[in-house]
Amino acid sequence: METMFFVIFSEIQSDPVRFPNGFRYLKQGQKVTFELVENPLISDSQRRSAKNVEVIED
């Protein structure tokens, strides 16, 4: 099952192997771990967002 969540750039955990230049990004299909947070004060599309996002597999 594929579910999409809003991810703020600063919530992607730095990894010197995957991101040697310091630029952090996510690619479609990557496996990640994260904490899901809900903020009722934000619009529907971004209400559920991911925090502490760590890429575990490309």
CATH of the domain at 53: 2.40.50
Q: How far, in Å, CA of 7 to CA of 53, rounded? A: 8
pLDDT of residue 54: 95
Q: What is the number of structural domains in the chain?
A: 1
Written as one letter, the residue type at 29 is G
Look over the chain and give the mean of its residue pLDDT values, rounded to a whole number.
86
Instruction: Give the pLDDT confidence of 11-33 residue by residue, as tens digits.
Output: 999 888 888 888 899 998 899 99
Residue 42 lies in a domain: yes
Residue 1 lies in a domain: no
Please report, rounded to a whole number, the percentage of residues in the chain having pLDDT higher than 70: 95
3-state secondary structure of 52: strand
Supply the pTM of this predicted model: 0.77
pLDDT of residue 42: 77
Residue 47 lies in a domain: yes
Residue 41 lies in a domain: yes
Residue 29 lies in a domain: yes
